[in-house]
Amino acid sequence: MTSREAIGASAVEDGGTISRQQWRWSVLAGMASYLDAGSIVALGAGLALFQSYLGLSDGAVGALAAIGPNAIGCAIGAFIGGRLGDKLGRKRIYKYDLLVYAAGILCIALAVNAPMLFIGTFVVGVAVGADVPTSLALVGEFSPSKARGKLLGFTQVAWNVGPVIVLLLSLALTPLDLLGTRIVFLHLFVVALVTWALRRGLSESARWTSASSTREVKYQLKALFRGAHLKALLFTAIVYVFWNIAAGTGGIFTPYVIKTLNAGSQAASVALSCAGFVIGILVTTLVFMKFADRSHSTRKWMWGIGAVMQIVAYGIYVVLPFNIPVIIANIVLFGVGCSLAGEAFYKVWSQELFPTMLRGTAQGFTFGVARTMLGVWSFFLPTLASGGFTLAGGLLTLFLVISGAVGFFFMPNTSGKSLEQIEAERATA
């Protein structure tokens, strides 16, 4: 089987059948999401321990979160990697960036001072930022048109599996304190090297190969900020930026906030975070992957229900005390809601709404903006939440209202259509 036959070059079949090769490549590409989320949550689970060991202030903790895989470091990588993925090809990016990731993770695992911790965190952020938009573009470009949501949803399952493994390891290794955290990071180091070795057999995206040799290569960066491309950019950016602030807060700060506000122990905080990601795995697998490609109306119902659940999840922090029962309610509601109206749909729309030679650039841009905004938020959150979570909960609720409303009322009708059909329709709209 040639790479063109395996990936589906100029026109992916309209059916929803997924080959074993496509599943395998989805797993390898989806490992970018595993390593991204895994590094975010590993840092979050060990944040309080590193703070105590190195004597970091609340401001330093915020700065560390702001420059890493959850925020600005990732943003820089996404801006650069997404654009280079369009100009040079998907393969050139994912062929090397995991080696950079592994080096950064090792630096964190062995950190004995603040500079090592900060440098490692920043390097990891840049590496995952470069990997995610190019890997997702690859998945979108080889997916059957009626199974694109399923395969991109699978990368979201990988995004949830990473934190579950990390948090279970953290929970099991809790008696070892900081040594346990170091072992968790070493696990990510090993996974990154194994994934890098397996990815060496991946082929270049046939869609990108075809587009780069034809008229599409003429697409310039400024084309992204005009007409239908600008509308798509604003849509995906608004949906993802405001949603990601809430999701990122839960991902990296839940254990930290629970412990520092004395709502529960370190073990309890890690276990609660883990539960949210398990819920995400189940709902994404059983609901999103099954129904995301069914129809436009199905997508709207999924998004609407999920958006309301997430708004309620953080809204309860405004009216109820920050304690374990309320935290459990937040985790359950947000875990289900974000699986229906969150990053999985953002990934799908980011592949569907842009032409091949701007696909990585567009997602790198919106992904980068989202992580930058999260970085700004992360810098202030430890101080903002030091006296309670009411104000932070209210702001997060507002952000989710914005994301949910824009996603629902401006959702594009792209379900089940080939990328070429979507592009043709948007060109004449």
End-to-end CA distance of the chain: 37
Q: What DSSP assignment string belongs to 6-39?
A: HHT-SS--SS----HHHHHHHHHHHHHHHHHHHH
- Smallest CA-to-CA distance from 413 within 243, 223, 227, 235 is with 235
Residue 11: the pLDDT is 39
- Smallest CA-to-CA distance from 30 within 274, 245, 284, 250 is with 284
Cβ pair 340, 121 in contact under 8 A: no
Number of Cβ within 10 Å of residue 313's Cβ equals: 26
- State CA 409 to chain mean position distance: 23
Place of tokens 């507002």: 398
Distances (CA, A) of 332 to 42, 172, 325, 429: 21, 23, 11, 40
Q: Rounded to two decimals, what is the model's pTM? A: 0.89
Q: Helix 324-340 and helix 266-283: axis angle, to 10°?
A: 30
Residue 2: the pLDDT is 43
Backbone angles phi, psi at 262, to 5 degrees: 60, 35
pLDDT (tens place) for every residue of the chain, 429 residues total: 344 444 443 334 456 789 998 999 899 988 988 998 889 888 877 888 899 999 998 788 878 877 888 788 999 999 999 999 999 999 888 878 899 999 999 999 999 999 999 999 999 999 999 999 999 999 999 999 999 999 999 999 999 999 889 888 888 888 898 999 999 999 999 999 999 999 988 888 889 998 888 755 556 788 899 999 999 999 999 999 999 999 888 766 666 666 655 555 666 666 777 888 899 999 999 999 999 999 999 999 999 999 999 999 999 989 988 777 888 898 899 999 999 999 999 999 999 999 999 999 999 999 999 988 987 887 777 777 766 778 888 999 999 999 999 999 999 999 999 999 999 998 876
Residue 5: the pLDDT is 40
Residue 12: the pLDDT is 42
* Single-letter amino acid code for the residue at 335: G
Residue 429: the pLDDT is 66
Residue 361: the pLDDT is 95
Cβ pair 102, 31 in contact under 8 A: no
Residue 220: the pLDDT is 76
Would the CA dihedral through 382, 388, 394, 397 be positive or negative? positive
Residue 251: the pLDDT is 64
